[in-house]
Amino acid sequence: MSMAVTHFNYIAVIVLMMIGLYVLFATGNLIKRMVGLALFQTSTALFYISLGKVSGGTAAITIYADSPEGRALAATLDPAYVDQFGINGVVYSNPLPHVLILTAIVVGVATLSVGLSIVVRIREAYGTVETDEIEAVARVEAAQSGPARSEAGA
Amino acid sequence: MNDIALQASFALNVALLLMLVIVGIAIARSRSLLASILLLGIYSLVSAAWLVVMDAADVAFTEAVVGAGISTVVLLGAILLVRAGPVRHDWRMTIPPALLVLGVGGLLIYAVTGLPEFGDPASPANAHVGRSYLIETPKEIGVPNVVTAVLSSYRGFDTLGETVVVFAAGIGVALMLGFGPRSALSPPPVATGDHHVVLRVTAKLLIPLIMLYAFYVQFHGDLGAGGGFQAGVILAVAPILHALVFGLRETIEAIPVHAVRSVAALGVLLFAGVGLVCILNGGDFLDYDYLFPPSVEAMIPPGLMGDPDHAHHWGQHFGIFFIELGVLFTVSATMVTIFYGFAGRAADEQEAAS
Amino acid sequence: MILFEAIYVAPPALTAQAPILVIAGPLIGACAAVLSPGARTAWMISVLTAAFTLWMSVAVAGEVARAGVIDYALGGFAQPMGIALRIDALGATMALLIASVGLLGALYSGHALVSEVKPEKHTLFQSGYLLCLAGFIGLVLTGDAFNAFVFLEVSSIGTYALVGVGEARDKRALPAAFNYLIFGTVGATFYVLGIGFLYAATGTLNMADMAMRLATLGDNTAAQAGLAFVVAGLGIKAAMFPLHGWLPGAYAGAPSLVSVFLAATATKAAIYLIIRFVLDVFPEGEFGAIFLRWILAPLAATAVIVCSVQAIFAKEVRRILAFSSVAQVGFIMLGVSLATAAGVSAGVYYLIAHALLKGALFMAVGAFAVSVRARTVDDFAGIACEAPWSAAAFGVGAASLAGVPMTMGFLAKWTLISAALEAGAVWIAVTLAIGSLLTLIYVWRMLEAIFFRMPAAGAERAREAPVGVLVPLFILAGLSLLFGVTSTLPASMADASAAALTGAAP
């Protein structure tokens, strides 16, 4: 049961990811799908950040150990801990996952924009954003067989 | 680690995560698209708060601006254009995803038991390369914000890729939404802005302040939280606000569509150009130590910024400065392009309706 | 790679920078295309950039042939602090393949776009095309796992929009593009999740460093989960069965050039990453062996049989080719799952063969589409009378797909089956044989309609495609024939790649 405490963050983040994945696949509405996708992507970001957190650490912006902030931070921690894991007297959290997630968030919004622009065009072409209605329209159009070939040109 | 402060921080972390789960469930159950989108905005905002608790200042900033800001704008624009009604709920559709999710989730939770403890400073993730960045940045880069140093210098190539992703999204949206009579390229003949005096006056006051704040975030990115991406999105908010209050036509007259697209391309060219200049001066791609040839470095007055050790880092400082500028151009221009894409089609729908 | 030893295609200073120029070139070209005034200029920029990229990729391949592995430290920082490009024989082979198809596609786009994409969109289309090219090449050359994700997304976002642009010809391109976006993004996110687990277990993102550290870890649940999610995510991108649902719609709806590019490069780049992770990064051991034998191989075999059957029953030509692609990916993965040097070499050789022949097939379909809009096999009946040259190229590609002797496809199937028998996996050899027979059936369906039937009574008459379209088409189809006869170049590249991955000569 102590695993639930020491790994709580990871379990919670996985629950969030699964909610996002569920929303993505359990609906036929294209816009709600994009919402689910955004949820799924953001939760993956939270996973990385949980990996990088260091107990008692602070944001990865260099501060001096004998400045007011540095001293306030050191006061809350065990000196042996600071000696072992700190850098110049201050304990920081891992900056690498932050960098990766900055990238991932931006990639997420880029995907969201392109996806929504496609949804808008689908709405204009098919008149709906529900997948079953789109399939129905497509079936109707396929049944109306035109000439065997037709003139090309957009 | 039995200290009160650490326990409080952990409790806050748990509370925020539980809030996120509740909001997530609410999104899943919601039948209204508008509600889902606004709940997603709340999710982003609470995530940003959680990120601050996790010491991820830059990421929190980006999540708040990009997640709660631009994503919500784009989603609202989409439901305006799509004019969808309530989401239909078919219980048969929920069974396969539920099974999939339980299966994948179960696998993940099993896998997670193999991970080190949360907050462990000695875990491989925190003890290896991550720690080296914290140690080496003051010596090699000389910039206080280690995240900016890693983003712009150590992993600058990733950031170039990220900038290109943003640029590609702009092109993608322009390909989908940007042409023909129903687009921002031929804006509506009549200005369709809001005529409310309060809005117009407030917007006129706010827009320059927003731009100023964007530049502040841009140029202080290496000292505190901030940087090109956050600044780019904030800068894009100014034209968006302008278009919402004064009408799309006025904004397009001020900032034409082709100009915006060119600025986006110029941003990427600036970033790649910095890399190429480094090659021409004898180094590798994006090796800022070679940004200035020795003759130029000699021209920089030694005590310029007080710290004598700065002399070693001029290449890094200016390299980061220029590439962040490139990122600013591309991100702001792309966000405006995306807005033009969605707004251009909406404006035309209003025309057709009236 | 004997052929490259003696060729110095570029001055040494340029060759030293070739690894990055081959990625930066298309990026800069894409920006230039956006800034260009007209569609014609954009096309010329596209062709020049693609030619430059091909030149640089040949320089890179030559350097790899000489030095074995190229390590290019970006930003001047030593690994694993900075990101490094790490190019071995497999990476150089993939880059060369992608750059070649990129140039041929760029040439092809001059005329082929006209009938399938609205004219106002041509400039942005060329820009998107070059971005995809840059993304794929960056993907196969990088030595950093997260950097691979970034370039994967660079190429993918461009591809989603480019597929959607096909709505001018076929409205179904739009839901297909959306589907592709959803699947692709879920795949990329799974990949990121997998990398997160691997990072948690090793503390590094550099693939070579990761390999070293994973070898010392032994049985680690996090690392195994990481590998599983990485392969699952990339499997979606590579259209491995059963994650291939997005592919038929996307190939059918996209403009022909985009289908060419997708079939020849997109899935192949994802397969490259899977090979890299499964055979290179992840250490040899019980988990790896179980994974290959009991998960990868059966799924690949199912793909070969099931998707070939789906191709037999599909009605539209583009969909037949799409299902065929998924089945052929199964062939490639069967070779890779053998994990022997001969198996991997056969797999890589098949990859090259399939990229060339599928590219030629989709180019030929696009050449037909310049003058008429045809979808089903019946629509294509008798088109050989009206467009003989395009039909001949289609015939060559189809022959290679079916494995007719004297084509590269025949040699590919032959080496694959012999590698399987050599490794003692008889059931794989049997599956390959059955798959080849099924391939013959649907290839014959298409060839029979095109060559041996008369056009329908009221059908629009097709015309031969212009020379600008025929030249790249013939070059691509001709390569399948050329390598079927003198296969030294691709065979030596495949062997070198296998040697680099498995550490043994095939």
Render C243-291 in DSSP notation, one character per residue.
S-TTHHHHHHHS-HHHHHHIIIIIHHHHHHHHHIIIIIISPSSHHHHHI
Look at residue C505 in the predicted model and tell me its pLDDT.
60
Query: What b-and-e string marks burial along B101-130, b requiring 16 or more CB atoms within 10 Å of the CB?
Result: beebbeebbebbebbbebbbbebbbbbbbb
Determine whether the interchain pair B168/C158 forms a contact, defined as Cβ–Cβ distance below 8 Å. Answer: yes
Structure tokens at C205: 């993102």
In chain C, whose CA is at the least distance from the CA of A132?
Answer: C175
What are the sequence ranges of the domains in chain B?
1-115, 142-354
- Touching check for C422 and chain A: CB below 8 Å? no
Determine whether the interchain pair C203/B161 forms a contact, defined as Cβ–Cβ distance below 8 Å. Answer: no
Tell me the per-residue pLDDT of A44-91, one tens digit each, with 9 for 90 and over.
999 999 998 888 888 888 887 778 877 777 777 788 888 888 888 888
Tell me the per-residue pLDDT of C65-77, one tens digit each, with 9 for 90 and over.
888 888 998 888 8
Quick check: C191 pLDDT over 50? yes
Our measurement of the distance from residue C172's CA atom to the centroid of its chain's CA atoms, rounded to an integer in Å, reads 23
More confident residue, C190 or C1: C190
Tell me the per-residue pLDDT of C354-409, one tens digit each, with 9 for 90 and over.
999 999 999 999 888 888 888 888 888 888 888 888 899 999 999 999 988 888 99
Look at residue B303 in the predicted model and tell me its pLDDT.
59
Residue B42 CB-density burial (10 A; 0-12 exposed, 13-18 middle, 19+ buried): middle
Classify C185 as helix, strand or coil.
helix
Q: Using N-to-C axis directions, what is the helix angle for A30-52 and A8-25, rounded to 10°?
A: 170
Structure tokens at B302: 């030694």
To probe the interface with C, which of A118, A119, A129, A141 has the most C CB atoms within 10 Å? A118
To probe the interface with A, which of B126, B183, B334 has the most A CB atoms within 10 Å? B126
Tell me the per-residue pLDDT of C464-484, one tens digit each, with 9 for 90 and over.
888 888 899 999 999 988 888
Q: Name the nearest CA neighbour of C78 among B161, B284, B135, A94.
A: B284
In chain C, whose CA is at the least distance from the CA of A13?
Answer: C193
Look at residue B305 in the predicted model and tell me its pLDDT.
55
C residues 73-102 closer than 8 Å to B (CB) = 73-77, 80-83
C residues 148-177 closer than 8 Å to A (CB) = 150, 153, 157, 160-161, 164, 167-169, 171-172, 174-175, 177
What are the sequence ranges of the domains in chain C?
293-506
Q: Does residue B227 come out as left (phi exceeding 0), alpha (psi in the -120 to 50 range) or beta? A: left
Quick check: C1 pLDDT over 50? no
Q: Under a CB-based contact definition with an 8 Å cutoff, are residues C117 and A154 in contact? A: yes
Q: What are phi and psi of C94, to 5 degrees?
A: -60, -45
C residues 332-391 closer than 8 Å to A (CB) = 369-374, 378-379, 381
Smallest CA–CA separation between B74 and chain A, in Å?
7
- Domain B1-115 falls in which CATH fold? Four Helix Bundle (Hemerythrin (Met), subunit A) (1.20.120)
Residue B336 neighbours by CB distance under 10 Å: 27
In chain B, whose CA is at the least distance from the CA of C24?
Answer: B272
Look at residue C375 in the predicted model and tell me its pLDDT.
82
Q: What is the mean pLDDT of residues C3-26?
A: 78
Largest CA distance in chain C: 70
- Touching check for C134 and chain B: CB below 8 Å? yes
Look at residue B350 in the predicted model and tell me its pLDDT.
59
B residues 6-45 closer than 8 Å to C (CB) = none
Look at residue A127 in the predicted model and tell me its pLDDT.
85
Residues of B in contact with C221 (CB under 8 A): 110-111, 113-114
Residues lower than pLDDT 70 in chain B: 1-3, 179-194, 301-312, 347-354
Quick check: C501 pLDDT over 60? yes
Determine whether the interchain pair B158/A98 forms a contact, defined as Cβ–Cβ distance below 8 Å. Answer: no
- Among the listed ranges B37-46, B133-142, C3-12, C332-341, which one has the minimum average pLDDT value? C3-12
Average pLDDT, chain C: 88
Structure tokens at C98: 């992608």
Tell me which residue has tokens 């036509």: B249
Tell me the per-residue pLDDT of C400-437, one tens digit each, with 9 for 90 and over.
999 888 889 999 999 999 999 988 888 899 999 999 99
More confident residue, A146 or C219: C219
Look at residue A154 in the predicted model and tell me its pLDDT.
40
Determine whether the interchain pair B56/A18 forms a contact, defined as Cβ–Cβ distance below 8 Å. Answer: no
Quick check: C249 pLDDT over 50? yes
Look at residue C438 in the predicted model and tell me its pLDDT.
93
A residues 13-42 closer than 8 Å to C (CB) = 17, 21, 24, 30, 33, 37, 40-41
Quick check: C228 pLDDT over 80? yes
Residue C424 neighbours by CB distance under 10 Å: 10
Look at residue B299 in the predicted model and tell me its pLDDT.
73
Tell me the per-residue pLDDT of C287-308, one tens digit each, with 9 for 90 and over.
878 888 888 889 999 999 999 9
To probe the interface with C, which of A6, A17, A19, A149 has the most C CB atoms within 10 Å? A149
Q: Name the nearest CA neighbour of C184 among C264, C265, C270.
A: C270
- Touching check for A90 and chain B: CB below 8 Å? no
Look at residue C331 in the predicted model and tell me its pLDDT.
92
Of the options 1.10.287.3510, 3.40.640.10, 3.40.50.300, 3.30.420.40, the CATH number for the domain spanning A2-52+95-129: 1.10.287.3510
Banded model confidence at residue C503, pLDDT cuts 50, 70, 90: confident
Look at residue B75 in the predicted model and tell me its pLDDT.
93
Quick check: C51 pLDDT over 60? yes
* Portion of chain C with pLDDT greater than 70, in percent: 97
Beta strands C372-373 and A150-151 are antiparallel
pTM of the model: 0.94
Look at residue A87 in the predicted model and tell me its pLDDT.
83
Smallest CA–CA separation between A104 and chain C, in Å?
8
How many Å apart are CA B139 and CA B135, to the nearest integer? 8
Q: Does residue B105 come out as left (phi exceeding 0), alpha (psi in the -120 to 50 range) or beta? A: alpha
Look at residue C497 in the predicted model and tell me its pLDDT.
86
